[in-house]
Amino acid sequence: MGESKQPHLNGAYYGPSIPPPSKSYHRPGRGGGGCCCNPFSCCCGCLMNCLCTCVFQILCTILVVAAIVIAILIFVFRPNAVKFHATNATLTEFNLNNNTLHYNLAVNLTIRNPNRRIGFYYDVIEARASYQGQRFATAQLTPFFQGTKSTNNVTAEFRGQNMVLLGNREMSHYNADRSSGMYDIEVKLYLRTRLRFWIVKSMRVKPKIECDLRIPLSSNGSASGAFESQRFVQTILPISSMDSL
């Protein structure tokens, strides 16, 4: 059977009918395409993006340049840590009576600067002596400048009396030290130093030097044991920790 013809189509067949396209609505300023109703907000956003990108690139450049400069300085100067040693110590009195410690102590120190291009200004040198965690004496040493590849000898002297409160455990250690004639005394050095590179001087550096010493008690010119040289351990203090010096 032939297909039926529709008279209003003049006998032509155009296939099935196509529905009309759906309407889509676009609100300007949202999504992609279209123009922004407020051009100033677009300009401000682009400006902020460009500014953040420029700042980030500048910071990265500064960090890279600083790292290169530090690497060059380290290669040129090759800094080495200053070495502190307690070469000798003399203890002629160390007597605890009614929580009052009577003491007479002298510690000889050797400071060695192994650097070839770096000198050190020791603006403040404060020595502190402690026993069983209790500080009993403080001594101020004379400031000086230490040149390159040089060694300086200084002496910290502690003499006098001070109140020291020891618990049962600490008193047990004191009685043991008195019986052996050897006392465990801790000596710390608090410093304010500056570095000199040729004619350039750095900002102040505040290291702390500490060492646990076992010192024999000398009586009538004879000691109950021999003192062994000890090396100090160095740490860097925060800036606020030395404000009291």
What pLDDT is recorded for position 238?
42
Q: Residues 122-159: pLDDT tens digits?
A: 999 999 999 999 999 999 999 999 999 999 999 999 99
pLDDT tens across 61-110, in order?
888 777 765 555 554 445 788 999 999 999 999 999 999 999 999 999 99
Those residues with Cβ within 8 angstroms of residue 236's Cβ, 6 or more apart along the chain or in another chain: 205, 206, 207, 208
Reported pTM:
0.66
pLDDT higher than 70, residue 218: yes
Residue 188 near residue 210 (C-beta atoms within 8 A): yes
Considering only 95-104, 161-170, 185-194, 218-227, which range has the smallest mean pLDDT? 218-227
Contact 114, 138 (CB under 8 A): no
Whole-angstrom Cα distance, residue 104 to residue 158? 6
Residues in the chain, overall count? 245
- H or E stretch covering 117: none
Q: Which 3 state secondary structure label does DSSP give 47?
A: helix
Confidence at residue 84, expressed as pLDDT on a 0 to 100 scale: 95
What is the pLDDT at residue 160? 97
22-31, 143-152, 222-231: range with lowest mean pLDDT:
22-31
Whole-number Å distance between alpha carbons of 101 and 161: 5
Q: What is the number of other CB atoms lying within 10 angstroms of the CB of residue 7?
A: 6
Tokens 């100033």 label which residue? Answer: 40
pLDDT of residue 10: 54
Minimal CA–CA distance to 234: which of 74, 109, 82?
Answer: 82
| Greater pLDDT, 41 or 64 | 64
> Which string of DSSP letters, residue by residue, matches 51-83?
HHHHHHHHHHHHHHHHHHHHHHHHHHH-----E
pLDDT class for 242, splitting at 50, 70, 90?
Answer: very low
Percent share of the chain, pLDDT over 90: 51
**Are the C-beta atoms of residues 185 and 130 closer than 8 Å to each other?**
yes
pLDDT recorded at residue 18: 60
Residue 221 banded pLDDT, cuts 50, 70, 90: low
- List the structure tokens of 1: 């059977």
The residue to which tokens 């300009």 are assigned: 43
Residue 133: how many other CB atoms lie within 10 Å: 10
* Strands in 57-206 per DSSP E: 83-97, 100-113, 118-131, 134-141, 144-146, 150-163, 182-197, 200-201
Number of H helices, E strands in the chain: 2, 13
The 10s digit of each residue's pLDDT in 169-191 is 999 999 999 999 999 999 999 99
- What pLDDT sits at residue 1? 47
